[in-house]
Every structure is written in structure tokens, then in C-alpha cells.
């Protein structure tokens, strides 16, 4: 029972202190769940699988980690924990937003949150690059040796597929999996 409560509290913190959603919260999620024994590689796999399933990444990660740590109840409490702060916050915002939506301070705060969110998403890119695109153990062999050519190719093709071809995340994730099976 303590493990289930610990999962709830951990994911409640993730839900409460992760602004920007999705990718912006990934470094915080990893930092919080490291104590449950998940390696960075396993976490990267959880995120990849979460991309192929419906729903927010944080909810999918909470569900998976909760189940891995404490079975069904761990999964239920972790998922409830990550979703509850957003529910509470949005109910508060909805009840007072009309009064303050033209406030200079509120608009200024929203303008400041946008670049902070870009920064958090960029942090996630750096975080996952360490397990997907680069291998720092090869730095002694030369700077360019740290990059996995095959992984960088999949990365670039994914960007092209997303921006130019307007492919969705499920198609891009599946294509990345197929290319990974062939190239890596």
C-alpha cells in the first residue's frame, strides 16, 4: 500500500509542476521516477510506446510505471495522481478566467509561459538525444563519432515526414520502428 501511495504522490508532483504538457514534462517525469528503478533506456522505450497509444504521454507513462511498480492499483493511483492537479487547476481557472482575461498581468504571464514551454520542450530534446542520437562514450574517438548515422537519418526523416508530409505521430513512430529494425 505504501508503494501505491508513493506512486500517487510522485505523479501528483509531476502533474502539478509540469507546465507545457507532453514533452516538456518528460525530464521531470524521469527525475521523479528514477527511484522506482527505471533506466533512461527503459524510460525512452516507455515514451516511444506512449507515442503509439492514445492519450497524453504523462498519463501513459504514469499508467505503465504504476503497473510496473505495483500492479493494477499502482497503475490506477499513478494515473489518477498525474491527472488530478490539471483537473483541479483547470476548474479554478475556468471559474475565474472571465474576470481576469483582459488583465495586463495575466496576459503578460501567458506571454512569458510560451517561451518557457519552448525551453522545456528543448530540454526534452536534449534529454532524449543522449539515448537516441549520440553516444558520449565515443567522444575520445572524435566529435563526429558520437553520432549514430542511422539514428540521425531516422531523426531527419521524421522531421521531414512531420513538417513536409504532415504525417501523424503514430505513422512516424511506426516508420521509425521499421527503419530502426532495418538500419540499427
- Each residue of 19-43: pLDDT tens digit? 666 677 788 788 888 877 778 888 8
Q: How far apart are CA 113 and CA 107, in angstroms?
A: 10
Tell me what the pLDDT averaged over the chain comes to.
Answer: 87
Distance separating the N- and C-terminal Cα atoms of the chain: 42
At residue 127 the predicted structure's pLDDT band, cuts being 50, 70 and 90, is: confident
Question: 10 and 81 in contact (C-beta within 8 Å)?
Answer: yes
Rounded CA-CA distance 51/153 in Å is 19
Residue 26, classified by CB atoms within 10 Å of its CB into exposed (0-12), middle (13-18) or buried (19+), is buried
Express each pLDDT in 69-105 by its tens digit.
899 999 999 999 999 998 999 899 888 888 888 899 9
pLDDT score, position 21: 67
Cell of 28: 521531470
134 strand-pairing partners: 147
Question: What are the beta bridge partners of residue 78?
Answer: none
Confidence band of 47 (pLDDT split at 50, 70, 90): confident
The pLDDT value recorded for residue 104 is 92
Question: CB neighbours (10 Å) of residue 84?
Answer: 15
Q: Nearest Cα to 50, choosing from 39, 61, 42, 40?
A: 61
Asked whether residue 124 carries a pLDDT value surpassing 70, the answer given is yes
- Greatest extent of the chain over all pairs of C-alpha atoms, in Å: 60
Amino acid at each position: 500500500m505504501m508503494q501505491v501511495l508513493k506512486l500517487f504522490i510522485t505523479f501528483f508532483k509531476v502533474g502539478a509542476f509540469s507546465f507545457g504538457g507532453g514533452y516538456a514534462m518528460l525530464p521531470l517525469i524521469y527525475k521523479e521516477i528514477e527511484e522506482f528503478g527505471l533506466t533512461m533506456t527503459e524510460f525512452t522505450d516507455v515514451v516511444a510506446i506512449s507515442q503509439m497509444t492514445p492519450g497524453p504521454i504523462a498519463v501513459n507513462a504514469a499508467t505503465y510505471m504504476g503497473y510496473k511498480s505495483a500492479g493494477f492499483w499502482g497503475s490506477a493511483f499513478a494515473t489518477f495522481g498525474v491527472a488530478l492537479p490539471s483537473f483541479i487547476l483547470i476548474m479554478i481557472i475556468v471559474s475565474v478566467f472571465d474576470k481576469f482575461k483582459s488583465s495586463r498581468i495575466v496576459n503578460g504571464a501567458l506571454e512569458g509561459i510560451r517561451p518557457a514551454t519552448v525551453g522545456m520542450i528543448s530540454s526534452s530534446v536534449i534529454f532524449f538525444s543522449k539515448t537516441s542520437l549520440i553516444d558520449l562514450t565515443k567522444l575520445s574517438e572524435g566529435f563526429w563519432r558520437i553520432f549514430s548515422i542511422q539514428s540521425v537519418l531516422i531523426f531527419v526523416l521524421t522531421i521531414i515526414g512531420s513538417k513536409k508530409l504532415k504525417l501523424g505521430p503514430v505513422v512516424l513512430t511506426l516508420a521509425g520502428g521499421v527503419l530502426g529494425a532495418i538500419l540499427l
